[in-house]
Amino acid sequence: MKMLIGGQSQQTPNLNPALVKLVAKAHLLKIELETGSAISIKDFATKYGMDHGDAKNLLPLSYLAPNIVEDILAGNQLVDLTARAKNVCRTCR
């Protein structure tokens, strides 16, 4: 895991569908856990055909700051922010 402080942003918008999908699944996981639609992360993983570990790794993405999520949805995320990061989600890409 690495943390970038003051990393370079995209010069031109570059929408990353895999990253958008990860963020969407992370929010879906959080909502389903909060509402009881999924009783556990393992239940969510089974429901959506995911590896339990991948589903578990999604949860922190649901707590990204709103401005980061907006940048991801607009394709303006930091250059190094991708769905291919180690330990993010193999089955979500």
pLDDT in tens, 50-87: 999 999 999 999 999 999 999 999 998 887 777 775 44
Percent of the chain at pLDDT > 70 equals 78
Q: At what angle do helices 17-35 and 66-74 cross, to 10 degrees?
A: 140
Average pLDDT (28-49) is: 96
- Residues 33, 29: Cα–Cα separation, whole Å: 6
Q: Per the structure, how many domains does the chain have?
A: 1
Please work out, in degrees rounded to the nearest 5, the angle formed at the alpha carbon of residue 88 by the alpha carbons of 83 and 91.
80
DSSP 10-44: PSS----HHHHHHHHHHHHHHHHHHHTSSSSHHHH
Q: Is residue 51 part of a domain?
A: yes
Q: Is residue 66 part of a domain?
A: yes
What predicted TM-score, i.e. pTM, was given to this entire model?
0.74
Q: Is residue 25 part of a domain?
A: yes
Q: Is residue 31 part of a domain?
A: yes
Q: What is the pLDDT, as a whole number, of residue 11?
A: 64
Q: Is residue 9 part of a domain?
A: no
- Residues 22, 17: Cα–Cα separation, whole Å: 9
Confidence of residue 48 (pLDDT cuts 50, 70, 90): very high
Q: Is residue 79 part of a domain?
A: no
Q: Give the domain range for residue 61.
A: 17-74
Q: Is residue 80 part of a domain?
A: no
Percent of the chain at pLDDT > 90 equals 61
Q: Is residue 45 part of a domain?
A: yes
- Please give the residue that has the higher pLDDT: either 88 or 29: 29
- Residues 92, 64: Cα–Cα separation, whole Å: 18
